Amino acid sequence: MNSQLSTSLDANLKHITVTLATWDAVWEVYLDPKWARQRLRLYGAQDRTLEQFFMELEEEMAELSMKLHGRAQQLVVFFGAAGIVED
């Protein structure tokens, strides 16, 4: 057997062994209501930060558009799993 393949197989087996040995403990902590609330707070903070960033970006782009074109053009930003469907 190729030594590189053997090393890769050994590393994968070690990873699987550790994962199986700690699986229940990891999920017990992950599903604890305290950590669920923490994840929700983190999600909310990320959401507020992104919203504030894009609002400021929209205002700055409107000001720049007024200077360059004499009128504000709408800024449209897509992020996440959003997409544009064309017919």
Residues 44-75: pLDDT tens digits?
Answer: 999 999 999 988 988 898 888 889 888 877 77
Residue 87 inside a domain? The answer is no
Residue 81 inside a domain? The answer is no
Q: What are the structure tokens assigned to 26, written together?
A: 């990891």
Structurally, how many domains does the chain consist of?
A: 1
Residue 52 inside a domain? The answer is yes
Query: DSSP letter at 31?
Result: T
Query: Whole-angstrom Cα distance, residue 11 to residue 9?
Result: 5
Q: What are the structure tokens assigned to 56, written together?
A: 């400021």
The residue with greater pLDDT, 77 or 36, is 36
Residue 48 inside a domain? The answer is yes
Residue 80 inside a domain? The answer is no
Query: Whole-angstrom Cα distance, residue 24 to residue 44?
Result: 28
Residues 11-32: pLDDT tens digits?
Answer: 999 999 999 999 999 999 889 9
Query: Whole-angstrom Cα distance, residue 60 to residue 69?
Result: 14
Q: Domain range for residue 63?
A: 3-69
Residue 19 inside a domain? The answer is yes
Confidence at residue 4, expressed as pLDDT on a 0 to 100 scale: 65
Terminal-to-terminal C-alpha distance of the chain: 53
